[in-house]
Amino acid sequence: MTHTEYQNAVELLKKYSYHYYVLDDPITTDEEYDILYHKVVAYEQEHPNDIIPDSPTQRVGDVPQDKFDKAQHLSRMWSLEDLFNREELETWVNRITKSYGDVIFYCEPKFDGASLNLIYDNGVLTQAITRGDGVEGEDVSQNAKTIQSVPLTIDYKDRIEIRGEVVIFKDDFEKINEERLRNGESLFANPRNAAAGSLRQLDTRITASRRLVFMPYGIGSNTLEIKNLSERMEWVYALGFRNPHMTHLCDSADQIETFYHEMRLERDNFAMLLDGMVIKVDAISVQDELGYTVKNPRWAAAYKFPAIEKLTTLKEVILQVGRSGVVTPVAIVEPVDIEGVTVERSTLHNFDEIDRKDIRIGDKVIILRSGDVIPKIVKVITSERNGSERVIPRPLHCPVCGSELLDEGALIKCQNLSCEARVVNSIIYFASKQCLNIDGLGDKIVEALHQSGLVNEVSDLFSLTMEQLLSLEGFKEKKSRNLIDAIAAVKGCDCWRFINALGIEHIGEVASKTLCISFGTAFDTASREEILALDGFGGEMVESILEFVRVNSDKIERLRSILTPVAPVKVEAVENPFKGKSVVITGSMSVPRDQIKVILEELGAKVASSVSKKTDYVVYGEDAGSKYDKAVELGVALLTESEFRALTPLSDSTPTAQGSSVHPKNSLFD
């Protein structure tokens, strides 16, 4: 890549990002973006002195900060006066129109997030400061630069403050909490707290991973001559900032009230949380004359939506078992009305979260509901306790089937393959490509077989008859015959596929192969000490296997007798650069990645799914994403597909892009 090509690539990446993060109108695929991004990264690594300051690669810093410095705003950031009903709205509007006659009001959504003040000088983002006390906040400039909807440069040379709210989309908020749940971390109570916490991370890489969004709502210090706020905001959007779109000019309290109700109706359709509507006098000259009180501008107010947090009482806790076997506690609360919806249940996430919040039956609690976000308990009012409250016990047995539960702290799981709550999902997984790969046995067919009563556990698949299938709606003779043949064809499967198909928690393909190599098909007879001695097996994995065997020993034996899985023949790999090494594969290759994986395993390598300090090689193709970046960060050796093939003794006979091979039938490459 030449320097000119690099400059053009940076501009194109910026254009792609603007359309994706600001306009919500992608003009390329993620694959094309990633390919171009990595080309830019490669150029910048070779030419560090040529790096363009606002290159997309410069949004994330490498070294965590020790602390945030204090910084002063160029002009004060004010709080808004709150209005809660039509009467208060009319009083506020009349106070203004009494002195200034007919006034136009600019109405916009009030986003529920963390306020941020961006300072641009000579067209470059020089500083980003949190609200703080309105006069002084914290300098979070490095974190702000990770927010894709914050332009690093704008087409305006004078110094100016652009103010807005940093938010997290509701879908992304749920994903963040799901990840924190898996990691055993405390959950964010709401997207507002998540946005504020993410903005103040000392490690910018964490901030970057949270998908924060900046929604501009105003201008601070400036030298603009644009006379109306509505026109100023259109000017701001034209600089490259997101446009909330639902804004409106009103000339009376009636019009404001009408638009307020329209926004309330649309509230749940917004990607982020709203907690009201902001009303501002449109004319800048009138704003200047109205001025400020000690706390608020006289020319702006927040017309708040009805509360989505209510106080109620926790009556009892019931247990639900998901399709994966995870047991989730659900709170039954005194019915409470939140925006016209009667809420009687709330998620409690898991028992670790119950312990962290010290939630007890009989507690007074604050419950939050927001649009399509499941109601949740965000706070316990411990001061209201009278001693009658009861601690919520951790369950020992499945509430559906009564089997012993696997308790891992954050997650409690039923591993019984015959449990009514998880049987359908366990069969779908059993038949999936990474397990027994039963052709034609998709999700809908499994559900139909279960609903008809023909299949109530995995082993029932192997006793299905043509007559039974033909009695079902949509099953013709050919379809039925093909399915029965496909089920029969998996008998004599590889040992690792048999173990992987059982769906043991924490045991995937790699661990299944290790178990097979070590114990053959009799993996369930191995002791705790024997399994713990295996490479890569920790205590959590071992306990999961032992608990699964205790609960399902009869089913394992029955399936083993039906499938007659074949144990691997141990063949010592020839000496080669990959023998005994940990290798990660990423990106698109000239052949399916599974074929590359088989080659590596034949060479004695351990193929891992994620990059760590223990990784020896990363073999990458086109569209190599975060795993490539992680390898660069950790200094792991990188190999292209052609470099990999050149190092392997099987390189002369590996499959071609068309799938041809010179290997004999039944060889590794069939």
Q: Per the domain annotation, does 664 fall within a domain?
A: no
190 and 84 co-located in one domain: yes
Pure H helices in 380-537? 423-431, 443-451, 466-470, 477-489, 495-501, 509-519, 528-532
Task: Indicate the burial class of 548 (C-beta count within 10 angstroms; 0-12, 13-18, 19 or more).
Answer: buried
Residue 622: CATH number of its domain:
3.40.50.10190
Residue 51: CATH number of its domain:
1.10.287.610
Condensed to tens digits (0 to 9), the pLDDT of residues 154-188 reads 999 999 999 999 999 988 888 888 888 777 777 77
14, 110, 310, 581: the active-site residue: 110
202 and 91 co-located in one domain: yes
Alpha-carbon gap, residue 363 to 350, rounded angstroms: 17
Alpha-carbon gap, residue 470 to 461, rounded angstroms: 15
Torsion from C-alpha of 344, 345, 351, 352, nearest 10 degrees: -90
Q: Per the domain annotation, does 404 fall within a domain?
A: no
221 and 291 co-located in one domain: yes
364 and 287 co-located in one domain: no
Q: How much is the pLDDT for 597?
A: 83
Report pTM: 0.51
- In the structure encoding, which two tokens stand for residue 515, read together? 């178990």
Condensed to tens digits (0 to 9), the pLDDT of residues 570-608 reads 667 788 999 889 999 988 888 877 788 888 888 888 888
Q: Are 217 and 229 in contact (CB under 8 A)?
A: no
pLDDT band at residue 372, thresholds of 50, 70 and 90? very low
DSSP symbols for 80-125 = -EEE-SHHHHHHHHHHHHHHHSS--EEEEEEE-SEEEEEEEETTEE
126 and 153 co-located in one domain: yes
464 and 325 co-located in one domain: no
Residue 117: CATH number of its domain:
3.30.470.30
Q: Per the domain annotation, does 296 fall within a domain?
A: yes
314 and 276 co-located in one domain: no
Q: How much is the pLDDT for 24?
A: 59
Q: Which of 240, 272, 304 is the last residue of a domain?
A: 304
What is the pLDDT of the chain when averaged over all its residues?
86
What domain range includes position 324? Answer: 309-391
Q: Per the domain annotation, does 376 fall within a domain?
A: yes
184 and 249 co-located in one domain: yes
Tell me what the mean pLDDT of segment 61-67 comes to. Answer: 58
13 and 126 co-located in one domain: no
Q: Which of 19, 36, 59 is the last residue of a domain?
A: 59
Q: Per the domain annotation, does 67 fall within a domain?
A: no
Partners of 442 in beta bridges? none
Tell me what the mean pLDDT of segment 459-473 comes to. Answer: 93
Q: Per the domain annotation, does 635 fall within a domain?
A: yes
183 and 327 co-located in one domain: no
Angle formed at CA 208 by CA 206 and CA 211, multiple of 5 degrees: 115
Rg, Å, the chain Cα set: 30
Q: Per the domain annotation, does 661 fall within a domain?
A: no
Question: 340: helix, coil or strand?
Answer: coil
Q: Report whether pLDDT(666) > 80.
A: no
Residue 535: CATH number of its domain:
1.10.150.20
Q: How much is the pLDDT for 667?
A: 26
pLDDT band at residue 30, thresholds of 50, 70 and 90? low
- Per the annotation, the verdict on 613 as an active-site residue is no
Tell me what the mean pLDDT of segment 16-30 comes to. Answer: 72
Q: Per the domain annotation, does 557 fall within a domain?
A: yes
Q: What's the number of domains the chain is made of?
A: 5
340 and 451 co-located in one domain: no
Q: Report whether pLDDT(86) > 80.
A: yes
pLDDT band at residue 657, thresholds of 50, 70 and 90? very low
90 and 194 co-located in one domain: yes
C-alpha distances (whole Å) from 179 to each of 174, 209, 465, 540, 613 are 9, 12, 43, 18, 22
Q: How much is the pLDDT for 122?
A: 95
Tell me what the mean pLDDT of segment 459-464 comes to. Answer: 94
